[in-house]
């Protein structure tokens, strides 16, 4: 290309190119402006939210857990403030070095480090995490003197759960522990996860679990401005937490204590109910455990010991143990017969000491029989033959219908544990039950012979002590039935308002008063002249009762000899009672595992409990085993 440079043309070309450049500049700036418009106008809300999310951290403030007191105001579960040593990781250069340096000053054990590590994994870095809990005053003072050496470390007051009564009523109160994945699922299913931010403990069993969402309270929040490093700069807003609601129990802590002492070192359960309300006065399962062990995270050794101990202290026998009711079943059978018109009170049978059905002989405990036996005598003397015949006459359907109406073989819905997971159903035998229980067809059929041992509370019968207590309370209360419950009212912390938990009866069985009176007279007779007479000798009140013995070891034709049987194969002793008979204030069911006969070990416990509850009489220690009663029951 040949070209003479023409200055004028060159300048024009240059200016044209300048123009092109200017247009490009304007175009580029236009694109930038478009981008700004998009970000700052159209997407503004989105980015504003993002900026706020960046800037603000919500730090939950965990509410104080509700306090549990007994009917008289005795504290059974409360919180106490203790000093903890806490580290905020984001304000510490090296967490490891800090802990090592702290360990020279304050006792920090391997388990503390372990817990800290676990918490560190879960926590956000602006939260402070405890490295040591329950500092002593000396330790607090020691740290205070060296505080300048430890940026990001501080002593904080935290609340801890405490059960001042220790092992007493632990099966009723339950305990709290660290939230596990399973607990988390429960909380999420209940759509409470928002309220549990920052909470690290949850009710694990008993009342603590059942009333978890009452006791917990509402979590408060502190809105804190944080920088990009997660350091909290200032508080923007604080919504205080609402403490959990307090529970006032129907339980009498002193009665509970006396009852537990009465058991001594025997395994068993007792449920005492106010029959007019269904309020549980005492709920005992022995042996017990100390719930305080769980609060700060139970040590593996303790956990192992509690779970692997042969006497199974963690099992709540009162609601989880299902036992054959033995002869305590008889008053209910008798009432069923009266209500269904299968017997009149005075209708008597002649008892030869056995009952033959088909080619099987059902024996009575008393050799040679009780002679002529009417309903009164059948209960007072606990005559088996009477009930063999009666059961055969009534048939299994009638029996199971009546017992079902008394709540036997069903969960009572007592306010313990989560939903009904903590409570056993027991077994109310019926042809339908058998069909469901057994897989093989030949096992599913109900044999008429099976009905006969049902009549004396043996066979497939298996009920929890709380079911027996509820049934006894229902008889005591003339057929008006309440759901057994431990909480009398919930006190709203905000308003102080008392919310009654169970004010209404769940059903009125509408028995004939004359029928109930027959049973009452007979049960009073038990404690006056029958199997309970020795235990209730000299009682200044009239108590209705019935002894029972549940077979652990099936006797294959042999004679049961208490002395020759290993202790853990001895029969379970049972006793049901209510008093005063004319105006019942307390109804109860006692079970002593391997206690032998009911009169021998269960009835004396019942006597102590009723004596204290009605008379305020304080016993000293465990109830005696009445060896004389053994002889007497052998006579049955």
Partner 1 sequence: MIDIVGTLRRGGRELIAHIDFPLLLITLAIMGVGLATVNSATWDSSHRMVSQAGNMGIAMVVMWFVSRLPPQKLMNFAIPLYVIGLVLLACVFLFGIKVNGARRWLPLGFVRIQPAEIMKIAMPLMLAWYFHKYEAVLKMKHYAIASLLLLVPFAMIAKQPDLGTALLVGAVGFYVIFFAGLPWKVIIGLIVAGAAAAPLLWHALHDYQQKRILTLIDPTTDPLGTGYHIIQSIIAIGSGGSFGKGYLNGTQTHLEFIPEKHTDFIFAVYSEEWGLLGNALLLFLYTLLIGRGLMIASGAPTLFSRLLAGAITLGFFTYAFINMGMVSGILPVVGVPLPFMSYGGTALVTLFVGIGVLMSIQTHRMLVKK
- Binding residues for partner 1, rule: CB under 8 A, are 1, 3, 5, 10-11, 13-15, 17-18, 21-22, 25-26, 28-29, 31-33, 35-37, 39-41, 43-44, 46-48, 50-52, 54-55, 225-229, 233
Kindly report the length of the chain. 636
Q: Which is nearer to partner 1, 56 or 618 (CB)?
A: 56
Instruction: Please say which residue, 50 or 117, places its beta carbon nearer to partner 1.
Output: 50
CB of 15 to partner 1, least distance (A): 6
| Least Cβ distance, residue 1 to partner 1 (angstroms) | 7
What is the rounded distance in angstroms from the CA atom of residue 247 to the CA atom of residue 292? Answer: 19
Exposed e or buried b per residue across 456-486, where buried means at least 16 C-beta atoms within 10 angstroms of its C-beta: bbbbbbbbbbbbbbbbbbbbbbbbbbbbbbb
128 CB contacts (<8 Å, ≥6 apart)?
Answer: 86, 87, 88, 154, 156
Residue 236 or 628: the one with the smaller Cβ distance to partner 1 is 236
* 601 burial type by CB count under 10 A (0-12 exposed, 13-18 middle, 19+ buried): buried
Report the DSSP pairing between strands 544-550 and 572-579: antiparallel
E strand or H helix at 82, and its extent? strand 75-87
Rank residues 55 and 425 by Cβ distance to partner 1 and give the closer one: 55
Nearer to partner 1, 25 or 144 (CB): 25
- Contact residues for 335 (Cβ-Cβ < 8 A; gap 6+): 402, 475, 511, 515, 516, 519
Tokens standing for 85? Answer: 């040593």
How would you label 189-208 residue by residue, b for 16+ Cβ within 10 Å and e otherwise? eeeeeebbebbebbbbbbbb
CB of 18 to partner 1, least distance (A): 5
Torsion from C-alpha of 214, 217, 218, 223, nearest 10 degrees:
-160
Nearer to partner 1, 233 or 569 (CB): 233
CB of 91 to partner 1, least distance (A): 15
The CB-of-30 to partner 1 minimum distance in angstroms stands at 9
Q: Which lies closer to partner 1 via its Cβ, residue 234 or residue 439? A: 234
Which of 90, 170, 285, 327 is catalytic? The answer is 327
Is 405 a catalytic site residue? no
Q: Minimum distance from CB of 57 to partner 1 (Å)?
A: 11
Q: Min. distance of Cβ 88 from partner 1 in angstroms?
A: 18
Least Cβ distance, residue 45 to partner 1 (angstroms)? 9
* Residue 124 structure tokens: 């956000």
What DSSP element (H or E) covers 577? strand 572-579
Sole residue written with tokens 């085993």? 625
Place of tokens 């706020």: 52
DSSP for 329-347 reads GHHHHHHHHHHTTS--TT-
Q: Which residues contact 221 (CB under 8 A, 6 or more apart)?
A: 58, 59, 60, 61, 237, 238, 239
* Residue number with CB closer to partner 1 (48 or 628): 48
Distance, in Å, from the CA atom of 339 to the CA atom of 327, rounded to the nearest integer, reads: 19
Active-site annotation, residues: 327
């Amino acid at each position: 290309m040949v070209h003479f440079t023409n200055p004028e043309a060159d300048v024009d070309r240059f200016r044209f190119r300048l123009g092109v450049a200017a247009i490009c500049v304007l175009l580029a700036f236009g694109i930038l402006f478009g981008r700004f418009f998009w970000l700052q106008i159209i997407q503004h809300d989105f980015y504003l939210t993002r900026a706020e999310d960046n800037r603000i951290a919500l730090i939950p403030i965990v509410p104080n857990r509700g306090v549990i007191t007994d009917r008289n105001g005795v504290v059974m579960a409360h919180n106490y403030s203790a000093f903890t040593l806490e580290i905020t990781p984001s304000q510490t250069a090296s967490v490891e070095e800090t802990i090592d340096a702290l360990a020279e000053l304050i006792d920090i054990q391997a388990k503390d480090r372990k817990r800290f590590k676990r918490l560190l994994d879960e926590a956000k870095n602006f939260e402070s995490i405890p490295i040591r809990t329950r500092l002593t005053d000396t330790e607090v003072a020691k740290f205070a003197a060296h505080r300048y050496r430890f940026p990001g470390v501080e002593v904080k007051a935290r609340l801890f759960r405490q059960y001042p009564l220790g092992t007493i009523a632990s099966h009723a109160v339950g305990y709290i522990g660290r939230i596990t994945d399973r607990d988390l699922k429960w909380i999420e299913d209940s759509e409470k996860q928002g309220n549990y931010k920052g909470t690290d403990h949850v009710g694990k069993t008993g009342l603590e679990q059942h009333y978890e969402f009452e006791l917990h309270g509402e979590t408060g929040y502190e809105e804190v401005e944080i920088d990009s490093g997660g350091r909290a700069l200032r508080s923007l807003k604080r919504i205080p937490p609402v403490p959990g609601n307090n529970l006032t129990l129907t339980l009498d802590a002193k009665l509970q204590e006396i009852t537990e002492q009465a058991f001594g070192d025997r395994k068993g359960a007792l449920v005492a109910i106010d029959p007019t309300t269904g309020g549980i006065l005492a709920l005992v399962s022995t042996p017990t455990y100390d719930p305080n062990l769980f609060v700060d995270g139970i040590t593996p050794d303790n956990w192992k010991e509690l779970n692997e101990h042969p006497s199974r202290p963690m099992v709540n026998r009162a609601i989880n143990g299902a036992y054959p009711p033995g002869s305590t079943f008889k008053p209910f059978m008798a009432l069923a017969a009266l209500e269904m018109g299968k017997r009149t009170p005075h209708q008597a049978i002649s008892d030869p000491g056995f009952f033959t059905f088909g080619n099987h002989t059902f024996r009575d405990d008393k050799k040679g029989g009780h002679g002529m036996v009417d309903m009164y005598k059948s209960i007072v003397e606990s005559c088996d033959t009477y009930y063999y015949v009666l059961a055969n006459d009534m048939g299994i359907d009638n029996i199971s219908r009546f017992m079902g109406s008394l709540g036997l073989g069903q969960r009572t819905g007592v306010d313990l544990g989560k939903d009904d997971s903590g409570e056993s159903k027991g077994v109310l035998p019926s042809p339908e039950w058998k069909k469901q229980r057994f897989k093989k067809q030949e096992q599913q059929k109900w044999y008429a012979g099976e009905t006969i041992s049902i009549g004396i509370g043996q066979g497939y019968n298996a009920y929890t002590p709380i079911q027996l207590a509820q049934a006894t309370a229902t008889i005591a209360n003339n057929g008006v039935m309440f759901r057994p419950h431990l909480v009398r009212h919930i006190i709203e912390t905000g308003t102080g308002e008392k919310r009654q938990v169970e004010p209404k009866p769940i059903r009125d069985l509408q028995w004939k008063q004359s029928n109930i009176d027959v049973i009452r007279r007979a049960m009073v007779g038990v404690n006056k002249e029958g199997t309970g007479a020795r235990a209730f000798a000299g009682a200044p009140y009239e108590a209705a009762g019935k002894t029972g013995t549940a077979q652990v070891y099936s006797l294959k034709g042999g004679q049961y000899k208490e002395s020759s049987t290993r202790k853990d194969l001895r029969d379970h002793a049972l006793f049901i009672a209510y008093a005063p008979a004319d105006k019942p204030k307390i109804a109860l069911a006692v079970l002593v595992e391997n206690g032998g006969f009911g009169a021998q070990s269960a009835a004396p416990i019942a006597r102590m409990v009723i004596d204290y509850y009605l008379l305020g009489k304080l016993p000293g220690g465990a109830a005696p085993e009445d060896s004389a009663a053994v002889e007497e029951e052998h006579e049955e």
